[in-house]
Amino acid sequence: MPELPEVETVCVGLAAAIVGKTIDRAEQHRANLRFPFPENFATRLEGRKIISITRRAKYILIQLDAQETLIVHLGMSGRFLISDGKLGDFHHETGGKSAHDHVVLHMNDGAVVTYNDTRRFGFMDLVADDQLETFPMLARLGVEPLGNDLHATYLNDAFLTRKTSLKAALMDQRIIAGLGNIYVCEALHRAHLSPRRVAATIATKKGLPGKRIDPLVRAIRDVLGDAIRAGGSSLRDYARVDGELGYFQHAFRVYDQEGEPCPENDCGGTIRRIVQNGRSTFFCGVCQK
DNA sequence: AACACCCCCTGTCGGC
DNA sequence: TGCCGACAGGGGGTGT
């Protein structure tokens, strides 16, 4: 589920459900996800009020009172389920519980927030607000793709020294933070750039972006914007559904479309699948150069 | 510094 | 039917 647009959608849905409320009780059902939970995790959450919920790259930052922030990463399969506390709201099949419900927050108004993560590649940590900036996983991140810091000059200069593929360079969270396998494939198709092309070949002199850089920047912004808007349209279902992949997938032009005709007008190509750095890449060899 | 590779974990799907 | 490998939206750690 979770690349930047999905995480953004989750943040908005979570915020609507719990900002301003207090955690009455917290359940922690195992000692670790990808990493161990911090000491006394559940206890430290109880009694805390939710001040705000924001996003940095694919990280969810839940600011609590007492100057602490709950950091959540969804990994590959993490999701939040929200119910109003009455029975039958979700998990119809299992009677309200799942083996992969790892954390449950009971809010003071009866709302119940459940973190479910089948593969447990996600994690949670509690960090003092004044330590957030130096929190290693956040400190390493590059620019936000939808922020003002991503512009042609920035990307040009970042690509200058990269002999790796455009696919790998865009997946590198130290350059642009928040893109993942789906949206990298989609952005490169929109920009008519081959995922196999060496990143440095679209960069020119430092400070003077190559002509192919700006269309790529725009493609990145466009595809993320489109996906967030599609996520937004499913928000009214947020409390009952779960942000699972499914709303934007009908808009995929190349991702998971192997064998389909390229959707680009008059292209005539066929979408191919290759493997780069251990991950699937989907692209059209005709219109992406 | 940059890069490729391995791994964490569970579930599903296609081929034989 | 059943087994087995490949693969799935991420990213930390390691060795070159």
Span A70-93, pLDDT tens digits: 999 999 999 999 988 766 555 544
Confidence (pLDDT) at A236: 40
Residue among A44, A55, A58, A253 flagged as catalytic: A58
Residue numbers of chain A with a pLDDT score lower than 70: 1, 86-96, 232-247
Give me the CA A175–C1' B5 separation in Å, rounded. 20
Phi, psi (deg, nearest 5) at residue A175: -95, -65
**Any catalytic annotation for residue A2?**
yes
**Any catalytic annotation for residue A215?**
no
What whole-number distance in Å separates Cα of residue A60 and Cα of residue A117?
15
Q: Specify the pTM.
A: 0.94
Give me the CA A24–C1' B6 separation in Å, rounded. 42
Confidence (pLDDT) at A249: 73
H or E stretch at A15: helix A4-18
Confidence (pLDDT) at A250: 74
Q: pLDDT tens, A201-246?
A: 999 989 999 999 999 999 999 999 999 988 755 444 444 445 555 5
Contact (Cβ atoms closer than 8 angstroms) between residue A62 and residue A53? yes
H or E stretch at A221: helix A213-233
